[in-house]
Chains A and B, each alone.
Chain A
Amino acid sequence: MPTNNPSRIAEILARHQQAILEDWLLAQLAAFSARHNLISEADLRRQSADFIGIFGTACQAGTLTDIATPAWQPVRDFLASISRSRASQGFSPSETATFVFSLKQPLFAHIRQELAANAESLADEMWTATVLIDKLGLYTTELFQTAREEVIKRQQMEMLELSTPVVKLWDGILAVPLIGTLDSARTQVVMESLLQSIVDTGSNIAIVDITGVPTVDTLIAQNLLKTAAAARLMGAQCIICGIRPQIAQTMVHLGVAFGEVVTRATLADALAFAFREIGCTVSRQAPRN
């Protein structure tokens, strides 16, 4: 059975390629009627024609039961590029899968036409085609999901970098305003970018402002201490500021201490301390006008 089945489907595909393509396009256009802004009809036609061509070749060359064989490599590659582009264009998973699944109807119609006389082989061919297209559809969905996850991961990385700006407050004074929860991954990024900035600017004071950190638990305190210790090893002093009264209370209740690291209530206090450390004075003059 597996030996004569593929030949029939491949043969039907080859003979009715144009007709199947037209029917398939109609089905897809109906499904994507609301999505004309995402993909043009010409693009859809080109993609579908390409796919039918590659699909037909693969049907003739390989077994129809296993799409992991080398004969199906071009089909897999093509589907991979389709799902990746659909994922970035903003299609939903079901819409992407529809690209493959909508091929069923026109293909079945032609199989039925061809094999109307032989009920048994018709059922066999139908079954083979269903299994095959289901596999391809699932493969597409899987790839679509992977592509989406890649996008999410990249955005996470970008957010990490965006969320840790190191600013230069004065000659020799750096500041990092931290906003949001500090997990280990973020601490790592904060630490690295802060230490790199210390090297680049030759600063000897780094102010870490935690006004935007909602809660400080033992883990976060430990992470902050690590950052301070690393900065000290490089020859810079770390000042932690922006500790709100409630947070200070919680920390004392938890028994969390920053040890030898200098802490201040506000960024202004920290800056005043930093000025004293580097020997700068801020004086008040009579205001202009």
Chain B
Amino acid sequence: MERIPILLVGEFLLVSIQVDLHDRLALALQDDLTTEVVKVRAKGVLIDISSLEIVDSFIGRVLGNIAALTAMLGANAVVVGMRPAVAITIVELGLDLSCLRTAINVDQGMAMLRLLLRPVASQGSDESAEK
């Protein structure tokens, strides 16, 4: 079965979805990504969906789930490069993805992750200091 590659860039994981994201593939990505976040202790996940042309309520929900899951595992997820048609579809479907962080392109997404990392890193050190 085909899988979507997950690349480690510094402390972040980069996922670029270049193929048609059908339901099983989306679920596989969700599994792989959570496993990988735990394995490499990634601080951030960048999901590039600029090639994704079709989105339905399920895929939208999976994107939201991935954001929630990675947040639970201590990583920030940023979805970048959403196409106008996809954005309109998600809004018209009434999906609430307000928990999802978004950026225009990979470059700005990386900048956002680095910005987010600073307070998170200091919080993490505080916690370890308390222990």
Contact = CB atoms under 8 A, between A and B. Distances in A.
Contact of A204 (B92, B97, B100, B108): B108
Contacts of A226: 91-92
Interface string A228-241: 01111111100000
B104 A234 contact: yes
Contacts of B98: 232, 260
Given A233-B97, A235-B80, A203 B104 contact: yes
Given A195-B88, A229-B91, A234 B82 contact: yes
Interface residues of A, number: 19
B90 interface: yes
A106 to B, nearest CB: 60
A236 B83 CA distance: 12
Contacts of B104: 198-199, 202-204, 234-236
Contacts of B103: 204, 235
Nearest to B63: A233
Nearest to A196: B84
B105 A230 contact: no
Contact of B84 (A192, A232, A260): A192
Given A233-B97, A235-B104, 8 more contacts: A226-B91, A230-B88, A232-B98, A233-B90, A235-B82, A235-B102, A235-B103, A260-B98
Interface of A: 191-192, 195-196, 198-199, 202-204, 226, 229-236, 260
24 contacts: A191-B88, A195-B84, A198-B104, A199-B83, A199-B84, A199-B104, A202-B104, A204-B103, A204-B104, A204-B108, A226-B92, A230-B88, A233-B82, A233-B86, A233-B90, A234-B83, A234-B87, A234-B102, A234-B104, A235-B81, A235-B82, A235-B104, A235-B108, A260-B98
